[in-house]
Structure 1
């Protein structure tokens, strides 16, 4: 009988096989997933800026302005030292971040910028103890250009501020003040005021005689100035049937008889005017161009001369009234343009163009 002896290796193999056959019941710890790392706090951003400080600074006086940033978490912080400033440096003089000294009298917008945000307001600069006086000179709501306009007060004496589009502004007024406006065809306007703070005094002019009625049918002619020889012949004089409608001082002139350019639902064949007692001021809005001479605004009068040429008139005309005509010089420009692309072909600017309407 042969007896076999198990070696150590063989025994280990048998034991391992037995364990595999019976299964491994050894308990194991549960696997717990690792939690994701929470995101960090969102970076703070500026939601708006707030500028605080006086709205009036006296000449020679230094004032402090503060810029406060309102942030996305609801907090605030002072960012005055970080701000970039925009202002008229002759009216307000910079002495330190947020500190400005009144320079010459006038008015400027003070603007502060931080982190792509901006804020600001207007600042009035006047001598101590004086104020700003402003207002509009009108005829039934229409701004007027006076023939003479002056203000007499205790601080400045007599002065004649400029009037732009009917609006006047004067700085450094105080105490008893008289406002006087004179214009041909209107009653002289006088008003006494006591100025103790910034004040607005509007002037409503009254006609000295009935307003002219110029409504009706006319033939209207635009004539280019003699020096405009570069314009093509057909653009040197253009005549149209015209209907003039009048409501109080307001006029609307509508041209007919030709093919006028249309854009965005509007036909460019009409313009406005104002009857000032015995004269008329017509306003034809300007053609506006970008850097490369392409249109970005179209004129009131824009006629299609041909498939390749447009005719435009723009400017201001102060015209006199007679029983059958309204005529005067036109200060502005007459030109011809290409419609595609919109480009200027020839344009003449002059104060000697003519506008006339004949019944």
Structure 2
């Protein structure tokens, strides 16, 4: 299924942006794991819309209802199913898009694939709204990982060309928590203020901006993953590219490695309290598709929100004539800052799947 990922831990997302509800099924969670619902709701609230002028004005509680998989606050071995009701849709804003597809959206491609029957209100099944159930699965995965000493955190690395400070060589769980507690998820609050100003300026200009999310995971053992087509990068890329608007992904030094010499890019091996470690981490904690024991480091690039209030060129499909389109509705001038917990969620889910595989489905 196109809306499912995972090997032992299978995660399937369902629903449409303006449908009755959206949700997730998670099959393969180990039984007997406590799920702190208050902590989970706080995680979901980090990506919730309608909190400030930096995001869409759509108001949603994003409070999940669990239909199965939890008993007395513990996973019970059955597939976990959770739903989130949709409550604040303005579907009329999307009338006519099957005939005049929006540039940058999946209106045209979905219309071709499904013969005009796709529900594209609010982006339908392609919408960033579907990242809310992803955060349910990933938020639970984060809790399970943390109990094993594996911590996942992210920050907004860049918006509109304005950079945040990078993660240190060995980010701590406390640093992850500090960033997660902020209203705007950056390491350098001064940079954050400049980013916020750029986002608001784009909104005033009836436009949008993109950004980059940097994510790290600490506490991973060396030896997870496989070479070639089932490496850690492969597994993460498959899932992370499922997040709407992700257009690029890099690990460690990423594309900058192409501008270095081998003597600059290689991470020297050293001994750290008797254990093998690396002096730097341009590999991003992965060599040959297999974890090294260093922090895993990746960055995901998010395109500018395609729904902008400026007139744009499109084609009226019923007459095959070029025309102008003015998009109505409520849209984010930048989605990258709300995507920070989403990148954490997907990364945590993939890492939990890898750890379950390495331990034959148990811990």
Q: TM-score range by the shorter chain?
A: under 0.3
- Which of structures 1 and 2 has the larger relative contact order (alpha carbons within 8 angstroms, sep 6+)? 2
More helix, by proportion: 2
* TM-score, with structure 2 as normaliser: 0.20
* TM-score, with structure 1 as normaliser: 0.20
